[in-house]
Amino acid sequence: MSQDLMIALTKGRVLVDELAILAKAGVEPLEDPTASRRLVFDTNQDRVKIMILRGMDVATYVDHGIADVGMSGKDVLLEYPGTGYYEPLDLGLGRCALMVAGLVDESELPSRLRIATKFTNTAKRYYAERGVQVDIIKLYGAMELAPVTGLAHRIVDIVETGNTLKANGLRSIELITQITTRLIVNTSSYKTKFDQVRKLIDSLEAVL
């Protein structure tokens, strides 16, 4: 007997693309999540539901098995410490880059830099791997302001078009990694709901 399959999607710019790819794979919500305040939706498929979460929370819900499957940016997955999920597919959506950026007219910098970011784990790893000592400052948004105001020397942030950097007198300095949206699957769900999960992975793979 089939059980409920919960799919977690990311609220925000990438949601429309996630819904489109899911629709091509045969799963469509009965109500449009982009025009509703609801957070959980029934779909055209019996026993398949969709929940809409903040990007940072998709990995948490899938890691804990509340959602069986999720679509999450690689930036969040790199930051997330849990290991309770597989990452079977690169969905190719939400293409952007995780970059180190700084002021265009960067004056002489001290040997130990202050780095502002919301991706603190990834930033720590990046500098540690290079043997560079830095101080990490955690911010939750508007990272670009940090070098402008002197809070930090550089930032680690997502760059898509580069417009936000440019508008604030900043430039990309180093590429940390390219980012896309990944399909993730809870490791237990992959076993206990194998047929349903596999069917979804195969359908998504076929439309990519």
Interaction between residue 18 and ligand PRP (CB under 6 A): no
Interaction between residue 159 and ligand PRP (CB under 6 A): yes
List 30, 37, 141, 191, residue binding ligand PRP (CB under 6 A): 141
Interaction between residue 162 and ligand PRP (CB under 6 A): yes
- Rounded to whole angstroms, the Cα distance separating 56 from 49 reads 20
At a CB cut-off of 8 Å and minimum separation 6, what does 194 contact?
none
Q: Which stretch binds ligand PRP (CB under 6 A): 68-76, 131-139, 156-164, 196-204?
A: 156-164
Site string for ligand PRP, 24-63 (x = CB under 6 A): ----------------------------------------
List 26, 28, 65, 164, residue binding ligand PRP (CB under 6 A): 164
- Rounded to whole angstroms, the Cα distance separating 139 from 117 reads 5
- Using CA atoms in the order 74, 61, 128, 172, what is the torsion angle rounded to 10 degrees? 40
Give the number of residues written for the chain.
208
What is the closest distance, in whole angstroms, from the C-beta atom of residue 8 to ligand PRP in the complex? 18
What beta strand segments (E) does the chain contain? 5-10, 40-42, 48-53, 69-73, 85-90, 96-103, 113-117, 134-138, 154-159, 170-179, 181-186
Interaction between residue 145 and ligand PRP (CB under 6 A): no
- Rounded to whole angstroms, the Cα distance separating 117 from 5 reads 35
What is the closest distance, in whole angstroms, from the C-beta atom of residue 89 to ligand PRP in the complex? 22
Task: Identify the bridge partners of residue 136 per DSSP, sorted by sequence position.
Answer: 115
Interaction between residue 158 and ligand PRP (CB under 6 A): yes
List 90, 160, 174, 202, residue binding ligand PRP (CB under 6 A): 160
Residues in touch with ligand PRP (CB under 6 A):
141, 143, 157-164
